[in-house]
């Protein structure tokens, strides 16, 4: 299947700082990428859909000024958690669909575990 790379895998930061997470599609071009958040023992929660060359579409309740998404190229989307606070600590996962297939399968990056002190 398609490969999605996510970096960093883990980050620890101080409260008030910003953290950038990168998501890359390695062997395909992704016009659409997805950003999820997952708390322990809970299911995935879609935060936003990242569209190449246009603004991201945020889910209800997700602050767009808090979670900045940039999809500048067909292989890269970034999520920046601005002015992070301890309650932002979570597991953030990106995914992408390979438009070269008709199967609508989302392939996931390895995830980023964010800990805000």
Partner 1 sequence: GQNIDQPTEMTATEGAIVQINCTYQTSGFNGLFWYQQHAGEAPTFLSYNVLDGLEEKGRFSSFLSRSKGYSYLLLKELQMKDSASYLCAVLDSNYQLIWGAGTKLIIKP
Contact set with partner 1 (CB under 8 A): 1, 6, 34, 42-44, 46, 91, 93, 103-111, 113
- The answer to whether residues 57 and 67 touch, using CB atoms and an 8 Å cutoff, is no
- The answer to whether residues 63 and 77 touch, using CB atoms and an 8 Å cutoff, is no
The DSSP result for 55-113, as a single string, is: --EEPTT--TTTEEEEEEETTEEEEEE-S--GGG-EEEEEEEE-TTSSS--EEE---EE
CB of 47 to partner 1, least distance (A): 13
Q: Which is nearer to partner 1, 1 or 100 (CB)?
A: 1
CB of 80 to partner 1, least distance (A): 20
Q: Which is nearer to partner 1, 62 or 82 (CB)?
A: 62
CB of 95 to partner 1, least distance (A): 8
In the structure encoding, which two tokens stand for residue 86, read together?
Answer: 């301890």
Q: Which is nearer to partner 1, 72 or 105 (CB)?
A: 105
């Amino acid at each position: 299947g398609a490969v999605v790379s996510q970096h960093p895998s883990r980050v620890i930061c101080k409260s008030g700082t910003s953290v950038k997470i990168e998501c890359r599609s390695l062997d395909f071009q992704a016009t659409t990428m997805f950003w999820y958040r997952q708390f322990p023992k809970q299911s995935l929660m879609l935060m936003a859909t990242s569209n190449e060359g246009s603004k991201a579409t945020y889910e209800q309740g997700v602050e767009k000024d808090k979670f900045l998404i940039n999809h500048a190229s067909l292989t890269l989307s970034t999520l920046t958690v601005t002015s992070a606070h301890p309650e932002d600590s979570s597991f953030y996962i990106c995914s992408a669909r390979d438009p070269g297939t008709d199967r609508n399968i989302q392939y996931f990056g390895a995830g980023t575990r964010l800990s805000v002190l």
